[in-house]
């Protein structure tokens, strides 16, 4: 069954005060083409977060949290293209406008551009769909149009526990199945638990893969995020065959996994290239507070679990309760309370000029899409979109048509476009 809900609006539900809601001059202008030159200053809008933080921790950098509020002026159409998906986890646009969408239970589906048809694709290996595990991310080879290769991540059960696995296979000519699926990479060590798999996949310009891997959540495993002999809590850089990309930052370090590119991460479920700077940006879940946006750079340590802006879910402090330490990177931005950031996407189209260069973040517990205005690698404005939908936004993808697409845990496929 196809359900379409047409709701045309100017998004402005983020602002809770009457003063903010009446302010129409809400675009930001900057020298990087990340706004309209005619836009007015919006720094007088209040931050979109109005709830008190969980901690009294102080930000290390100016503007690192609770940035000024902004408001999209462009009239938008919010369309639900499909509401029958089964716990979708990732969305990957195809060159012809259709989508590959993973469903956490283990099914990969091919969805038409208008959302009207959903076709199951057979041939994937069995997943362990317990806890936060299942069929997770999906991406296509940069040469997909000629080679038909598809890459995906999933949680795999072994006798020693579960593991984040990366696999590849070719989409058959009739698009009914994945041919010759093979696992190219497994994170280490394996662990008997079902949380924090991470596992977004992006390709670099050379056609190699960057993959985010979670630290599996427990106090026992989280310390592995700091260990270079394990790939939990890491960004790894691998070839299409799963081998370490040469000359990695730890390739010559004794006992270190040569595929490690960056470390000290918790549960990174967002990866995206910044089209303005060409750098890799990441979003990760904090515990109780301390969700982060980071710029991932070679060899850098992002601190978890040594430094954090969050607390244990019990309310207890984590470790020494410090937020800064020499040799550890500060997040570009963090949230407290948590919004539970999952998939992220940069908008790089001229269709909605005020969005160009902005970072969009799917929020699960926050039940909205966060729009972050970026200038000089800093967040200078934040907006909450689609808050009234009450959906857990799991993954985002920009379309070639200038629209932003999103899938939710509740099974919906959204199209957000210029009216």
For 166-202, how does the pLDDT look when each residue is reduced to its tens digit (9 = 90+)? 999 999 999 999 999 999 999 999 999 999 999 999 9
Separation of alpha carbons 122 and 179, rounded Å? 9
User: Is residue 3 scored above 60 in pLDDT?
Assistant: no
Of 24-33, 59-68, 77-86, 352-361, the range with the lowest mean pLDDT is: 24-33
Task: Report yes or no on 43 lying in a domain.
Answer: yes
Place of tokens 């009239």: 75
**For 386, how many CA atoms within 13 A lie in the half-sphere containing its CB?**
33
In a domain, residue 244? The reply is yes
| Predicted local distance difference test score (pLDDT) of residue 40 | 53
Angle at 276 between CA 275 and CA 281, to 5 degrees: 60
Q: What is the dihedral of CA 411, 139, 98, 10, to 10 degrees?
A: 60
At residue 60, the pLDDT reads 98
Q: Is the peptide bond before 305 cis (omega within 30 degrees of 0)?
A: yes
The count of domains in the chain is 1
pLDDT grade, residue 41 (50/70/90)?
Answer: low
Torsion of CA 116, 386, 394, 1, to 10 degrees: -20
Please name every residue paired with 6 in a beta bridge, in sequence order, or none if there are none: 79
Full-model pTM: 0.90
CATH of the domain at 275: 2.120.10.30
Token pair 């503007």 is found at: 63
Give alpha helix (H) positions in 334-405.
none
Decide if pLDDT at 157 tops 50: yes
Residue 1 lies in a domain: no
The rounded distance, in Å, linking the Cα atoms of 194 and 201 is 20
Q: What is the pLDDT of residues 225-240, one digit of tens each?
A: 999 999 999 999 999 9
In a domain, 182, yes or no: yes
Out of 18-27, 180-189, 196-205, 380-389, pick the least confident: 18-27
Question: What pLDDT is recorded for position 33?
Answer: 36
Cβ atoms < 10 Å from Cβ of 177: 16
Share of the chain above pLDDT 90, in %: 89
CA distances from 310 to 219, 287, 315, 335 (A): 15, 6, 9, 9
pLDDT per residue as tens digits for the range 121-131: 999 999 999 99
196 is catalytic: yes
Share of the chain above pLDDT 70, in %: 89
| Given 66, 104, 196, 237, the catalytic residue | 196
Q: Which domain holds residue 414?
A: 6-418
Q: Averaged over 375-385, what is the pLDDT?
A: 97
pLDDT at 360 over 80: yes
Residue 265 lies in a domain: yes
């Amino acid at each position: 069954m196809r359900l379409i809900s047409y709701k045309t609006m100017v998004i402005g539900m983020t602002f809770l005060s009457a003063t903010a809601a009446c302010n129409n001059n809400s675009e930001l202008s900057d020298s990087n083409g990340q706004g309209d030159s005619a836009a007015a200053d919006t720094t007088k809008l209040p931050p979109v977060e109005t709830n008190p933080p969980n901690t009294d921790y102080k930000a290390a950098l100016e503007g690192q949290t609770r940035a000024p509020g902004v408001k999209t002026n462009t009239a938008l159409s919010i369309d639900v293209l499909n509401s029958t998906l089964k716990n979708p986890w990732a969305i990957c646009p195809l060159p012809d406008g259709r989508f590959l969408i993973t469903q956490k239970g283990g099914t990969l589906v091919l969805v038409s551009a208008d959302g009207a048809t959903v076709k199951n694709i057979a041939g994937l290996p069995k997943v362990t769909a317990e806890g936060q595990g299942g069929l997770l991310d999906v991406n296509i080879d940069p040469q997909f149009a000629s080679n038909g290769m598809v890459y995906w991540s999933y949680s795999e059960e072994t006798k020693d526990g579960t593991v984040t696995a990366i696999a590849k296979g070719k989409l058959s000519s009739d698009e009914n199945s994945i041919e010759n699926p093979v696992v190219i990479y497994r994170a280490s060590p394996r662990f008997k638990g079902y949380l924090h798999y991470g596992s977004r996949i992006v390709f670099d310009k050379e056609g190699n893969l960057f993959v985010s891997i979670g630290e599996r959540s427990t106090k026992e495993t989280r310390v592995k995020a700091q260990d270079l002999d394990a790939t939990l809590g890491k960004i790894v850089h691998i070839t299409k065959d799963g081998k370490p990309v040469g000359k990695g930052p730890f390739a010559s370090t004794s006992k270190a996994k040569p595929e490690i590119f960056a470390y000290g991460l918790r549960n990174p479920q967002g990866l995206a290239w910044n089209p303005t700077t060409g750098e890799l940006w990441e979003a990760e879940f904090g515990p109780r507070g301390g969700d982060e946006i980071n710029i991932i750079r070679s060899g850098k340590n992002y601190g978890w679990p040594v430094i954090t802006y969050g607390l244990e879910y019990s309310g207890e402090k984590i470790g020494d309760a410090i937020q800064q330490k020499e040799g550890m990177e500060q997040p570009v931005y963090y949230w407290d309370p948590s919004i539970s950031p999952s998939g992220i996407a940069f908008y790089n189209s001229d269709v909605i000029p005020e969005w160009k260069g902005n970072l969009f973040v799917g929020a699960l517990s926050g039940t909205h899409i966060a729009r972050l205005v970026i200038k000089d690698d800093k967040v200078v404005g934040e907006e909450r979109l689609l808050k009234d939908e009450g959906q857990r936004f799991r993954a985002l993808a920009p379309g070639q048509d200038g629209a932003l697409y999103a899938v939710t845990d509740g099974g919906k496929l959204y199209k957000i476009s210029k009216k």
